Amino acid sequence: MRTTTFIQAINEALKEEMRRDESVFLIGEDVGRYGGLFRVTRNLFEEFGEDRVIDTPISEQGFMGMATGAAIVGMRPIVELMYMDFFLVCADQIFNQAAKMHYMTGGLVNVPMVIRGQHGGGKRYGSQHSQCVESAFAQWPGIKVLAPSTPYDAKGLLVSAIRDNNPVVFIEHKMLYFTRGELPEAGEELIVPIGKADVKREGKDLTLVSFSYTLLEALEAAEELQAEYGIDVEVVDLRSIVPLDTETIYTSVEKTGRLLAVHESQSNCGIGSEIVARIYEEAPHLLKAPARRLGMAPASLPVSQKLEEELLPWKKNIKAAVLEMLQPVAA
């Protein structure tokens, strides 16, 4: 094993899959000669050329439609949205075409495409470049949604996404790009299964479910809660939002009796709401106390650093929520 960055993990997955399968190609704004806004696609143009690493005009509607058509006829496009916020520009191609084609043709047509890009706050990019978008994609049948938090999971899940015969949305948080983690040596095949959560920290007092960058904030909060109050939090990384691995969540809650679902996007209609609703519908007997969700307040992220930090439901807010749920234990 070696230590590398989240960016490098994604870059390796792209490079290795493009070498393995000539039907895989990359398309998007500045993905080629420039190497991507965050340099995720650097050096790919030099190896694979302009026919497989395609720079496009600023027209998400156009190149998302091109990729959908290419997938329908047997190619495996990887579409980069420079900011995931821009999915709204090409929503018809994603939701009414790519997501529905397999169903509408009675299974005769597959649409093996990956839509990847970064989202989230923490960099003061403002309201139109900082939104978390996973709930919007999760609402539509026919789309799988992945949001890894470590380089290992990022590489392994992206390989699985590229090989999948369905449209897969692969969400990268901008705050994760320069985080580091362990990976097998370059060239060694790494596959992480879609639809399987991972327990990143074991504990006995409360189950905290999260994903993407907020998962790292949750892990830090759990360590501080242990050191300061003796509270032992189990942290479950969803990794896959659709399909959702409720089995791993319920197994954890069976041990702890308490559930807190945390994510950066707004609490209203978020994935946390879905998780809380499902445990009340399917396994309420596992709970010793009411399950809760924690997300951002219903507001757009500002450019102001102070206001952005106030809105984001990260470590400080996570610790406060856990303490509120475990007051007798903390006392």
Predicted confidence (pLDDT) per residue in 273-321, tens digit? 999 999 999 999 999 999 999 999 888 888 988 888 888 999 999 999 9
pLDDT in the model for residue 310: 87
User: Which of 119, 129, 173, 263 is labelled catalytic?
Assistant: 129
Residue ranges, comma separated, of all CATH 3.40.50.970 domains in the chain are 2-183
Average pLDDT over residues 3-17: 97
Average pLDDT over residues 220-236: 97
What pTM did the predictor assign? 0.95
Q: What is the layout of strands, in order, in the sheet containing 292-296?
A: 198-201, 233-237, 206-210, 259-266, 292-296
pLDDT above 80: residue 240: yes
pLDDT in the model for residue 208: 98
What percent of the residues of the chain are helix, what percent strand, and what percent coil, each to the nearest 5? 40, 20, 40
Phi-psi region of 92 (alpha: psi -120 to 50; beta: other; left: phi over 0): alpha
Confidence of residue 329 (pLDDT cuts 50, 70, 90): low
pLDDT above 60: residue 271: yes
CATH of domain 198-330: 3.40.50.920
Query: For residues 88 and 80, is the Cβ–Cβ distance under 8 A?
Result: no
pLDDT above 60: residue 109: yes
Which CATH superfamily includes the segment(s) 2-183? Thiamin diphosphate (ThDP)-binding fold, Pyr/PP domains (3.40.50.970)
Q: What is the mean pLDDT of the chain?
A: 95
Residues 24, 4: Cα–Cα separation, whole Å: 24
pLDDT tens-digit readout, 145-194: 999 999 999 999 999 999 999 999 999 999 999 999 999 998 899 999 99
pLDDT above 70: residue 330: no
Upstream peptide bond of 57 is cis (omega within 30 degrees of 0): no
Residue 163, token pair as written in the block:
């090989």
- C-beta atoms surrounding 223 within 10 Å: 14
Lowest mean pLDDT among 20-34, 119-133, 137-151, 266-280: 119-133
pLDDT in the model for residue 73: 97
Query: For residues 212 and 171, is the Cβ–Cβ distance under 8 A?
Result: yes
Write the burial class of residue 106 (CB in 10 Å: 0-12 exposed, 13-18 middle, 19+ buried): exposed
Average pLDDT over residues 27-55: 96
Residue ranges, comma separated, of all CATH 3.40.50.920 domains in the chain are 198-330
pLDDT in the model for residue 328: 63
Query: For residues 55 and 29, is the Cβ–Cβ distance under 8 A?
Result: yes
pLDDT above 60: residue 116: yes
Residue 165, token pair as written in the block:
């015969």
User: Which of 16, 17, 60, 80 is labelled catalytic?
Assistant: 60
Q: Residue 301 has what DSSP assignment?
A: P
Residue 129 annotated among the catalytic residues of the structure: yes
Residue 173 annotated among the catalytic residues of the structure: no
